[in-house]
Amino acid sequence: MPLNVASTPPADWKYISEGGSSIVFSYIGTSADFIGTALRLRKIDNRLPYTEYADGVEESDDPSILFQHRIIEKLVEPQYLPRLESVETDRAWLEQLAKQTEEKRPADRRATDRIDAGRKKAVLATDLVGGLGWAVEIKPKWGFLPTPKYLSKTTAPVKTQTCRFCMHSHMKTTESEDAALGYCPLDLYSGDEDRVRKALHTLWDIWIGSSGSVNNLKVFVEGGMLKPSTLPSTLRPLAGQILSSEDESPDLDTLRDAFTSALLPVLLKTPVLGLLSKYQREFDVLDIEGLSALWKQANQPLGSPDVPPPVLGAGLKQPSLEEIEAFVEIYLAKHSTMDHDHPDTANLKYYCIAYLLSASFKDCSIIIRLQPTKDEVEPWRKTITVIDLDVKSMDRLHKWEKLDQKIVAEYAVLTDPKRCVDQGLREWALPA
Ligand SMILES: [Zn+2]
């Protein structure tokens, strides 16, 4: 029997943060069933009514749970994943929770959406930010440069020199959008101490400079998300964790150095970053340009060379979990021996599903958690967990292709492009 979260008082759940589609709470009560857990609820647009289920129709478990259990756990060791399970809930309880939470939510989110109180199921996960200590959430993004094989004469010199994230940040900046300009994921993934330190410093500077509005870095202290500014007082909770107590009023540089020194050893030692980069790279082995070429080749109307084929992914159904499972089996057994230099149109579906999974790994986050111990030699217990590995939708393939063209075209005109260095495949570990 799944647990029922409505058996706990809503006041025992503390608002943590929210993204585009879900909102997260941390359990602060005393029930042994829920200690150490976080609750993730789906949200719904303010203009829409709550989701409704007809009598006798059972709501299925959240897709993220099935996706993790059946797909992701075959690719990433469970020790690096949060525990996810389905819990029951009900409308009265969700409405009460929503009411007590409303004032803690950011105004722009409140104006857009609310907790979907029509749901009868929610996701219970390991609470990775609550309790004693502190935690850092990093969205590392694309960790590789494409091979030139499938790139056109115009895109190859651009895409093999500057990484996708740096080009995209440039475009966002020209459009006055918030962007992590200056942060290069290839530094973070490099495994090289100086480069990883540089990546962390840059993420920190962007975090402070944007008052936390750029989402590549979030910092939590004992379950609360920090809202930083250049005033060191806004960072006092973090200073209390990472500096010795004599430092009464530390300056920003001292804090940044302590922050980086705490995280650096974890990031240099963990196989997680290497693994994310490997999957992003191997699942995107053709680049969107090569995938598009293969699609055209497979979908060119017979005998009508002048009729343009449908756009990338048009009419392609969203793969079922069974199909993605079958893909993963083939990937694990054969990917390294397949001839990706001469992809077969018979494998078009394989490459499309691969691209979707690549997108999941390009968009996930990692949480590094630091919990105090009583051990003098190892005063902190440090763990790293991959979160937000969600299924992406097949109907985005064409949008991704268009976005790629736009990003590259805008970057190609720069006379002084950034040079990003790809360290290549690093050590990695598969689930046993
Ligand atoms: Zn870069």
Instruction: Tell me the per-residue pLDDT of 112-138, one tens digit each, with 9 for 90 and over.
Output: 999 999 999 999 999 999 889 999 999
User: Ligand 1 centre and the CA of 216: distance in Å?
Assistant: 14
Average pLDDT over residues 158-164: 97
Write down the mean pLDDT value for the chain. 93
pLDDT at 428: 46
User: Ligand 1 centre and the CA of 141: distance in Å?
Assistant: 10
Residue 71 resides in a domain: yes
Residue 43 resides in a domain: yes
Q: Is the predicted pLDDT of residue 317 greater than 60, yes or no?
A: yes
Q: Is the predicted pLDDT of residue 321 greater than 90, yes or no?
A: yes
- Tokens linked to 135: 């935690």
Average pLDDT over residues 415-428: 82
User: Ligand 1 centre and the CA of 409: distance in Å?
Assistant: 16
Cα–Cα distance between 166 and 35 in angstroms, integer? 41
pLDDT at 247: 63
pLDDT tens readout for residues 27-43: 999 999 999 999 999 99
pLDDT at 301: 78
User: Ligand 1 centre and the CA of 253: distance in Å?
Assistant: 24
Q: Is the predicted pLDDT of residue 412 greater than 90, yes or no?
A: yes
User: Ligand 1 centre and the CA of 91: distance in Å?
Assistant: 46
CB atoms within 10 A of CB 151: 18
Quick check: helix, strand or coil at residue 192? coil
pLDDT at 245: 67
User: Ligand 1 centre and the CA of 269: distance in Å?
Assistant: 22
CB of 283 closer than 8 Å to CB of 358: yes
- Give the list of residues 6+ apart from residue 247 with CB closer than 8 angstroms, or none: 239, 254
Q: Which residues fall inside 5 Å of ion ligand 1, going by CB?
A: 163, 166, 184, 420
Q: Is the predicted pLDDT of residue 431 greater than 60, yes or no?
A: no
User: Ligand 1 centre and the CA of 363: distance in Å?
Assistant: 16
The number of C-alpha atoms within 13 Å of 87 and in the hemisphere containing its C-beta is 23
Checking DSSP bridges between strand 84-88 and strand 22-27, what pairing results, if any? unpaired
User: Ligand 1 centre and the CA of 11: distance in Å?
Assistant: 44
Q: Is the predicted pLDDT of residue 430 greater than 80, yes or no?
A: no
CB atoms within 10 A of CB 253: 9
Cα–Cα distance between 70 and 351 in angstroms, integer? 19
CB atoms within 10 A of CB 356: 21
User: Ligand 1 centre and the CA of 412: distance in Å?
Assistant: 15
Q: Is the predicted pLDDT of residue 1 greater than 70, yes or no?
A: yes
DSSP state of 300: S
Please give the biggest Cα pair distance in the chain. Answer: 79
Q: Is the predicted pLDDT of residue 2 greater than 90, yes or no?
A: no
The three-state (H, E, C) secondary structure of 337-376, written as one string: HCCCCCCCHHHHHHHHHHHHHHHHHHHCEEEEEEEECCCC
The three-state (H, E, C) secondary structure of 1-25, written as one string: CCCEHHHCCHHHEEEEEECCCEEEE
pLDDT tens readout for residues 242-297: 987 666 678 889 999 999 999 999 999 999 999 999 999 999 999 999 999 999 99
Residue 421 resides in a domain: no
User: Ligand 1 centre and the CA of 165: distance in Å?
Assistant: 6
- Give the list of residues 6+ apart from residue 12 with CB closer than 8 angstroms, or none: 27, 28, 29, 31, 34
pLDDT tens readout for residues 51-104: 998 888 888 898 889 999 999 999 999 999 999 999 999 999 999 999 999 999
DSSP 241-270: HHS-TT-SS--HHHHHHHHHHHHHHHHHH-
User: Ligand 1 centre and the CA of 163: distance in Å?
Assistant: 4
> Distance between terminal CA atoms of the chain?
29
Q: Is the predicted pLDDT of residue 220 greater than 90, yes or no?
A: yes
Burial class, 320, CB count within 10 angstroms (exposed 0-12 / middle 13-18 / buried 19+) = exposed
Residue 171 resides in a domain: no
pLDDT at 426: 58
Q: Which of 161-170, 237-246, 283-292 has the lowest mean pLDDT?
A: 237-246
Quick check: helix, strand or coil at residue 134? strand
**Which region, left, alpha or beta, applies to residue 176 given φ > 0 means left and ψ of -120 to 50 means alpha?**
left
- pLDDT confidence band for 233 (50 / 70 / 90): confident
pLDDT tens readout for residues 63-72: 889 999 999 9
User: Ligand 1 centre and the CA of 375: distance in Å?
Assistant: 39
Domain count for the chain, please give it: 1
Nearest residue to 262 via CA among 276, 243, 236, 280: 243
Residue 272 resides in a domain: no
User: Ligand 1 centre and the CA of 287: distance in Å?
Assistant: 17
| Selected residue with higher pLDDT from 304 and 124 | 124
- pLDDT confidence band for 429 (50 / 70 / 90): very low
CB atoms within 10 A of CB 273: 24
CB atoms within 10 A of CB 370: 20
Residue 16 resides in a domain: yes
Residue 382 resides in a domain: no
Parent domain of 75: 5-127
Residue 330 resides in a domain: no
User: Ligand 1 centre and the CA of 407: distance in Å?
Assistant: 13
pLDDT at 427: 52
User: Ligand 1 centre and the CA of 388: distance in Å?
Assistant: 22
State the CATH number of the domain containing residue 38: 3.30.200.110
